[in-house]
Amino acid sequence: MPIKKGLVTFAFLVTALFAAAQAPVTDTAKKDTTKTTAKIATLPADSRQIKPYKEVIRAGYVTKQGLFTVHQYKDSVYFEIPDSILHRDIMTVNRLEKAPAGSAMFAGEELKERVIQFEKNKDSTITIRYNLLVNRADVKDDIYKAVERSNYNPVAYTFPIKAISNDSSSYVVDATPFLTGNTFINEIGEGQLFREASYSSFKIAKVTSIHVYPINVEISTTKDLQSKSGTPPEPLSVMTHISFVALPRIPMQQRLFDPRVGYFTEDFNQFADNQQKVEKRQVIVRWRLEPGAKDVARWKRGELVEPAQPIVIYIDPATPRQWRKYLIQGINDWQKAFEQAGFKNAIIGKEWPENDTTMQLDDVRYSVLHYFPSATANAYGPHVNDPRSGEIIQTRIGWYHNVMSLLHDWYQVQAGATDPAARKAKFSEELMGQLIRFVSSHEVGHTLGLRHNFGSSSRTPVDSLRSLTYLKQHGHTASIMDYARFNYVAQPEDHIPQEYLFPRIGEYDRWAIEWGYKASFAKDVDEDTRIVRKWISDRLAKNTRLWFGDGETQKTDARNQTEDLGDNAMKASTYGIKNLQRILPRLPEWTYEEGGVQQNLAEMYQNVKNQYTRYLDHVLLNIAGIHKTLRPDGDTMKVYEIVPAAMQLEAVEFFNQQLFTAPLWLKNPVVSANAEEPANPDFIEDMQVRGLNSLLDVSRLNKISANRNRFGEKALQLNDYVTAVHQGIWKGLKEKKVTIDNYSRTLQKAYFANLMAILLAKTPEMSETDASSIMKADILLLEQEIKTAIPNTSDAMSRIHLEDLQNRISNLLNAKNAL
């Protein structure tokens, strides 16, 4: 059929163009005198024939009325599409309803979402067309016509009309091929096991259920797949669910994103007649919260009111009962934040009413925390939102059963020194419940539209993390959307109670909800933007704890790190290491489990080592670091500031003390003998060399030099930096009796290897910079220091080592001079 249409169109165009070429150039030639001489291609008669309504929808069909009417008889399904939803935006959401074992996907997880429209065509068909919403313009602007012409939405499916209702207000189409064919309703390509590379096209077994409601239609189907490889091919069956939900006729008023408050966004190009450049518009995603009619006046006066439709999140009935109340507490903890935005009881966690047959778990109108039987240690908080306005219409939080193992390990390694309850292989139900509550709150924050705020923890002075008075007022971080985890800075002698070791919803979180959800009562989005931007400037000027540090796009800012605490990584990490030194010797006792064979000990030993290296990473980012703080236009304060030179040298000293002085406490003999496989190289030696290589990486050296040029005296001088690293590695050479242990010998050889790499390099970024000159001076200094130290060595291995290095330096300098 498309071929015939194409031929007819092509012939028509050729005829028209030929006639135009032969016509004389007169005024009459400007008139359209073209006559259609070819017949328009038509659908076959059997598919175009419209029958009387009663001949199509016969006795025995089960009819369900709602957003659109569905008629079903055995395996036959008809949709009846009313005029009222033609050209209306409808969102479709595909989810897994039953997932196969081993797929790494779970019931309730989303596969795909789209916006569609039903259209009635002149050729007696109904079309489903995707509404892509990539480029937009106001219908009142002239440029709207250009946007419409250049953004033609694709057709997803076409139904022949089978019958028309008696009052001519709706159109009956056979939906059976649509529901059972390879169409978007059966999309499964997003899942790990369902990609085209693994499985061939599927065969539908059947439509398993259809539920119809006033604003949505819910349909479940099962399908069988065959793998593309294997003999015989492996079969796989899956059940998916699609929701059709009508989006509001009038979209919620947009609120434009401001990068000083962390919200997820819908992004698109906005065109307008009065522009001088295209606006890349970002609209924050948020729930629609509005008071009931009787409360509008009170709301506008600033009184607390209840929303007409609160955010309700149900707990999956498959969730173990002992954890449900903690998950609900994590949801309800956000109520205080919404009070700051003008609403009370705005968000409510509830158990799913298991005996209520009128409610279906897959109904798109309900938000649910789904519990996944998975060995993955994770949880996540997604949302489905109207792309036109950012209005969130549903959330399906994913909660993996094994997230509890992650919580146990985090808490024991970060709080075990201060909380006796953390010193067990299996926590009490109450402690694990409170840990679950913390993660529940974090994931719910995402479902409310909030992004991670990895910079929030940097707003807390390190020593304040040891003050109960401070913690009672502020908590240990200003945002639960940070990855601040638990208070590892607090020391046993501080006597900090358990409840103040946990993250909680903080000042930033309450502020972010206020900014996103409080009404500005503006007449349009432009006025709203002016109002809410001023809110940010005013509030940040008064309270720096409300700062949003975007660690997902500003990863080089040392303040925006995951798993860190406080405003000084060197001080915080030193406290953290003190606690690890207390924890490590106790691990055999704390990980004991009857019938165990040291698995718990090995796992927690690795967690201690991981936590230690995490502290090193926190410190490293300060060296050559730059802070970026967004400022409004007209603000005289600087956006980019250098990490102070003194703080960078403090970071080098941290490495000298905590890494380059071998951390032998990590090799507790009882623990390592039972929990560590023998390895070559030694893991401490490996960490030391990796750390030194990072400090002497030429890109870091060049960055330090460039920062000095840009920021002047506030920045660290490269020569001072190299001197500080040099002193940490070679300090033993100045002793009266020089003894160099095996860890120091390896480090010193690694130091020389870095010098050699820079001095022999031929690339401009290494040979034509100050780094090359400073390293040349450094190796000459080192040559003299070694020469002086050799006579003072106290053991044979130290002398052999230094004589070897002396010979290497001589060879290097000769090679360098020969170039």
What is the CATH number that goes with domain 293-592? 3.40.390.10
| Pairwise CA distance, residues 177 & 180, whole Å | 5
Strands of the sheet with 265-271, listed across from one edge: 135-137, 265-271, 279-284
Compute the half-sphere exposure of residue 484: CA atoms within 13 Å on the CB side of its CA: 35
- Tens digit of pLDDT for each residue in 309-357? 999 999 999 999 999 999 999 999 999 999 999 999 999 999 999 889 8
CA distance 695 to 723: 12
Residue 308 is predicted with a pLDDT of 97
CA pair distance 325, 690, nearest whole angstrom: 46
β-pair partners for 81: 171
Regions in the chain scoring below 70 on pLDDT: 1-48, 189-205, 227-231, 233, 816-819
Residue 16: predicted pLDDT: 36
pLDDT number for residue 763: 79
195, with CB counted inside 10 A (0-12, 13-18, 19+), is exposed
> Position 278: which residue type?
V
Quick check: 205 and 224 in contact, CB under 8 A? yes
DSSP state of 643: P
Beta bridge partners of 266: 283
- What does the DSSP 8-state code read for residue 354? T
Predicted local distance difference test score (pLDDT) of residue 182: 82
Measured at the CA of 59, the angle between CA 57 and CA 63, to 5 degrees, comes to 60
Tell me how far CA of residue 680 lies from CA of 145, 166, 278, 658, 740, in angstroms.
Answer: 69, 83, 58, 22, 20
Instruction: Give me the sheet containing 170-174, strands edge to edge.
Output: 62-64, 69-73, 76-82, 170-174, 155-164, 125-130, 110-120, 90-98, 235-246, 216-226, 203-212
